[in-house]
Amino acid sequence: MLTSADKRAAFKKLHESGCFIIPNPFDVGSAKALQHLGFKALASTSAGFAWTLAKADNRVTVDDVCDHLAAICAAVEIPVNADFEDGFAHEPDKVGVNVARAVKTGVAGLSIEDYTGDNAKPLFDRALAVDRIKAARQAIDADNSGVLLTGRCEAFLRGQKDLNLVIDRLTAYADAGADCLYAPGIATAEEISAVVKAVHPKPVNLLVGAAGPSLKDAGALGVRRISVGGALARMAWAGFMKASKEMAEQGTFTEFAHGYPGGELNKMFSG
């Protein structure tokens, strides 16, 4: 049984060279399945987890998330990175308190984003956003946990497609103590390369959803890790909704023929 310290050391090692995929399970079963497939690390998904609770993304509590993270970390022998949203607080000191709670779940890393939750003013003021990263860094370092901190700029996802703004914020987050940088929504080779160059030598996380570069191509651009956000959860829901709608609307059951074999699932989870 690997300790949290073992997993954190392994996670940091993964960030030293090459490019790896860090897929996003949404519950314990999907986490164990991804481990079974040979992935070296996992990342939680705020949206995927929220949907399991019949809630919209960004509508779960810090208690919900910490319980979820603890369950996944206990279930797998590989590192888990937490999508810790906005730290579940606006004020830096409260972000620090919540980050300290997340560290105790056993995560190997966590991200803090600069989205306010208010679409009228989606990003925290730059100075406040930087202070929030500093508070997360201090909370992580308070007990020498070794948890890897990712600073995340939400500008592209929130309709502010200003690459200069993104780079300015990511470099500031790096200076504030972020170990890894992440700007979900950047997609072109030019955007990705610009971000990688700006924060070098710190690693960059790239979000890939329905389209995006392959692992090989992302690595060639200098990306260190690729996550998929809620994409796997959406795929699971796609199969569920398609079969359920067929039953509800047509009274037929043909979609079940496309289900994953139950025997294979039992075999995978019996180990």
Per-residue pLDDT of the chain (271 residues; tens, 9 = 90+): 899 999 999 999 999 999 999 999 999 999 999 999 999 999 999 999 999 999 999 999 999 999 999 999 999 999 999 999 999 999 999 999 999 999 999 999 999 999 999 999 999 999 999 999 999 999 999 999 999 999 999 999 999 999 999 999 999 999 999 999 999 999 999 999 999 999 999 999 999 998 889 999 999 999 999 999 999 999 999 999 999 999 999 999 999 999 999 999 999 999 7
What is the pLDDT at residue 7? 98
> How far from 166 is each of 152, 174, 205, CA to CA, in Å?
9, 12, 14
Q: What single letter denotes the amino acid at residue 181?
A: L
Which contacts qualify for 268-271: CB closer than 8 Å, 24 or more apart? 268/32, 268/33, 268/36, 269/29, 269/32, 271/36
CA 43 to chain centre: 5
For CA atoms 8, 184, 88, 198, give the dihedral sign. positive
What is the pLDDT at residue 211? 83
What is the pLDDT at residue 210? 82
What is the pLDDT at residue 39? 98
CA 137 to chain centre: 18
Question: How far apart are the C-alpha atoms of 197 and 122, rounded to whole Å?
Answer: 26
Burial letters for 208-240: b for 16+ Cβ neighbours within 10 Å, e otherwise?
beeeebeeeebbebbbbbbbbbbbbbbebbeee
Q: Find where tokens 């072109």 sit.
A: 188
The residues with which 226 forms a beta bridge, in sequence order, are: 21, 206
pTM of the model: 0.96
> How far from 201 is each of 15, 136, 170, 171, 208, CA to CA, in Å?
11, 21, 13, 11, 22
How many C-beta atoms surround the C-beta of residue 55 within 10 A?
A: 14
Question: How far apart are the C-alpha atoms of 181 and 218, rounded to whole Å?
Answer: 15
Give the CATH number of domain 4-229; options: 3.40.640.10, 3.20.20.60, 3.90.550.10, 3.40.50.300.
Answer: 3.20.20.60
Q: Find where tokens 């199969």 sit.
A: 239
Question: How far apart are the C-alpha atoms of 178 and 112, rounded to whole Å?
Answer: 9
Strands 42-43, 80-83: pairing kind:
parallel
Residues of the chain with CATH 3.20.20.60: 4-229
